[in-house]
Structure 1
Amino acid sequence: MSNHGRIFLVDDDELIISMLARSLQKEGYETHMLNSAVQAVEKICSWQPHALLLDVDLGDGPSGLDLLEMLQKEEIDFPVVMLTADDSAESAVRAMRHGAADYLNKPFNIEEVKIVLKKLLANSRLKNEVRYLKESSTAVLGRTFIGASPAIQTVLKNTRKMAEAGVSSVLITGKSGSGKEVLARNFHHWRFGSQNDYDSIPYIAINCTALPETLIEGELFGHVKGAFTDAKTDKKGVFELADGGTLLLDEIGDMRLELQGKLLRALEERTVRRIGGKVDQPVDVTIIACTNRDLKKAVEDGAFREDLYYRLNSFAIHIPPLNEREEDVVVLARHFLNVFAGKYSKKPVKSISNEAETLLKNYPWPGNVRELRNVIERCVVMENMETLSVNCLPLDLGGKEQRVREKRKNFQIILPENGVSLIDVERELMRLALERTRNNMTQSAKLLKVSYDTFRYQAKKYDLL
């Protein structure tokens, strides 16, 4: 199966385009040819090419420039290369004014055609990915998975093995905030990072629960113009946008059953069909599926397809929650301290106090790494510190609340059901202080944290002397 792209060729010279088509097929391109302008726009759009080679002079009927103008009105999203026997600058300018991405003079060199197509397709993929990332709130930025615990080292080792082996689909499970998307980005880097054109290899992430059910299918597989009321133009789905790279399907456990069947078909046949389309588009995509759900239980409950589960579970990676890998907490905290110090232009925190380290390790982190990240970011923004101390940490981590609880353990008063007079409480406390210090008023005042004069005045008032 080709993964170089789909090229549509339009030229009334059958010999030229047949020769060109064969050369492109040898390079791994899929091609489709047309010898006239008859119904050309409809045929080109329905085939959904990645690029179009279009002759300027098509004999009788509309010219290539006429076709280009009609295609532009259809708001096509693929580049067009004009083929012309006229090597004048005027011809080139006319082609570019009409929206052509490039032009080639006849007779052309096959190697030149290949170079032009490779450049245009790479730019087109990058443009599509950038556009999608700008529109998508679930875009994942490049980050490195941090962890020193044996469990995480095993996860990273196994993930890298799968990536370097080139497995076509991976399932990553773990609780919310544990780092599934970050690990997916690492997988993509290990899978494609050694390639010279790595920067142009797409990485697309989509959250299966972030869009309404009515939109998710179109987002996955795309649609053709007129497929439904709001389909004003053709639109590529994320499978096509990620062709040749990686597609992350986050929260796949919440995908409805009907779409699960279409996803399974795409995984097995490596083709997708846009909504309303008539063409099966071949795609070469590495699928990474993530979920915080127990998919095996979901299968038992009838909420997830068994065949899709076993298809994904062939290469499964589980990320343990942060409270099961204590060694990673402080490592991650130090990492985030440096990251946010740089982001907010603050001096890096030099150390974390032993008390703060203990508290960070003992806290259960129900929000996992995401919660720790947010806590550290708040500390960097709100505090000016060289050492991260317990006082810097939020109350709900147990720092200040824990100390209050400890104080309460050392000083407990049982309030009678009928209530009590504060005067009686104060008098009794002073009596106990004098009793403990054998009537030493200086020591008694220290115990109750008041001045000597205040204690002596109150003691006389309550007739304790």
Structure 2
Amino acid sequence: MQLLTLPSTPALATSIRATAQVFEDPVSRALLAHLRQIAPSDASVLIIGETGTGKELVARHVHQLSHRHKQPFVAVNCGAFAESLVEAELFGHEKGAFTGALAAKAGWFEEADGGTLFLDEIGDLPLAIQVKLLRVLQEQEVVRLGSRKSTPINVRVLAATNVNLEQAIEAGHFREDLYYRLNVVSLELHPLRERPGDILPLARHFLHTYRQRLQHGPTTLSPCAEEALTQHLWQGNIRELENVMHHSLLLCRNQTITVQDLRLSSSRVRRHEAPTPSHTQSQDGALDLLQRAFRKLFEEEPGALHETVEDTLLRAAYEFCHHNQVHTAKLLGLSRNVTRTRLIKLGALSVNTRRSDTTTSSPYLQQSL
């Protein structure tokens, strides 16, 4: 069971606002604008999104923007407690209501009175409890287990789920009437992989946070590390990104976090569709490849950048032309003598190799060259 009651404090409010302001992707900025519209009301809100997308952060932000911000914020994970104790934990119990009930205890609704109750993973609630929750939402009162006296409450309920509740309704696992009671306003949080503009701002935010927490010196992300972060799929969303930044800061040996420090899985890299061939797209593709190469070389061998790029280009062209010197020279716009000299210097061609090309040319060049 997870229960967190947070009375409003200036430091907490500032922290939540600062985290929310980190979002820079247009999708996230639109969501924040929507939050500012719905927060002042007392309407129930259903927050939908994958695990780790920041559903609780959104709930806290709604609370801080509402007129209830000086009252408690109570966060409950509905999937983290035993089914036999759900009713007592939610609605409270009297002394002797069941074995082990040695004293009367207020439930979460009473703890959140005047403020906001956040029910995370609402889809995990048992059907029997869903019926009682619906009545509490309708009547705005609770009856403790073992009591016949109702207690009025004034609570705004925010619920969150990572499952499709409409499918759960069809399967008979969730009540339709409760769904509509909770879903007065619906907020859908897109996964981090669909909000690429948030990745680096969040990474820098977590880096700053853990630097302060660990009393670590000034630390930045290398260009290659930034690229690796933006290309990662982030199946664990914001929670995974936070974990990676915390871990990489612990591993970092100097003031710059590298790709090696991130230790990202190579199987979770964003895949790009091949573009339709065109002159402009070919240039853009070449520029993209060169930018990646520049970042890598800047970290490893900044002084040898020009020479390394030229050598790599020559080797790639020679391989593409199936070791045909004439076609390699034409492809690069060089004379054959210059091409031959550079290939010998690279060790790709022997000094004693005959000048007449006997190897098969690239099938891509047979008509154009």
- Residue 395 of structure 1, CA deviation: 4.4
Superposition map of 1:2-401 within 5 A: 137-139=2-4, 142=12, 143=16, 144-145=19-20, 146-164=22-40, 166-192=41-67, 198=70, 201-350=71-220, 352-396=221-265
Report the secondary structure of 1:320's partner residue. Answer: coil
- Residue 353 of structure 1, CA deviation: 2.5
- Pair 1:382–1:139, CA change in 2 (3 A): farther
- Residue 203 of structure 1, CA deviation: 1.1
The structure 2 residue matched to 1:437, chosen from 339, 350, 355, is 350
- Residue 398 of structure 1, CA deviation: 6.2
- Pair 1:275–1:355, CA change in 2 (3 A): same
- Residue 167 of structure 1, CA deviation: 2.2
- Residue 153 of structure 1, CA deviation: 1.1
- Pair 1:273–1:138, CA change in 2 (3 A): closer
- Residue 389 of structure 1, CA deviation: 2.1
- Residue 235 of structure 1, CA deviation: 0.6
Report the secondary structure of 2:101's partner residue. Answer: coil
- Residue 435 of structure 1, CA deviation: 8.3
- Pair 1:356–1:336, CA change in 2 (3 A): same
Report the secondary structure of 1:396's partner residue. Answer: coil
- Pair 1:439–1:317, CA change in 2 (3 A): same
Report the secondary structure of 2:100's partner residue. Answer: coil
Amino acid across the alignment from 1:343 = R
- Pair 1:204–1:436, CA change in 2 (3 A): same
Amino acid across the alignment from 2:32 = L
Structure 2 unmatched ranges of 5 or more: 7-11, 270-291, 293-315, 317-345, 354-369
- Residue 360 of structure 1, CA deviation: 0.9
Does the 8 A contact of 1:337 with 1:348 survive in 2?
A: no
- Residue 168 of structure 1, CA deviation: 3.4
- Pair 1:398–1:388, CA change in 2 (3 A): farther
Percent sequence identity is: 42
CA distance in 1, matches of 2:241, 2:226: 12
Does the 8 A contact of 1:342 with 1:348 survive in 2?
A: no
Does the 8 A contact of 2:207 with 2:245 survive in 1?
A: yes
- Pair 1:353–1:347, CA change in 2 (3 A): same
Which structure's relative contact order is higher, taking Cα pairs within 8 Å and 6+ residues apart? Answer: 2
Normalised by the length of structure 2, the TM-score is 0.68
CA distance in 2, matches of 1:291, 1:226: 34
CA distance in 2, matches of 1:211, 1:192: 31
Superposition map of 1:414-425 within 5 A: none
CA distance in 2, matches of 1:224, 1:397: 55
Report the secondary structure of 2:215's partner residue. Answer: coil
- Residue 296 of structure 1, CA deviation: 1.1
CA distance in 2, matches of 1:395, 1:175: 20
- Pair 1:439–1:263, CA change in 2 (3 A): farther
- Residue 223 of structure 1, CA deviation: 0.5
- Residue 241 of structure 1, CA deviation: 0.6
Amino acid across the alignment from 2:239 = R
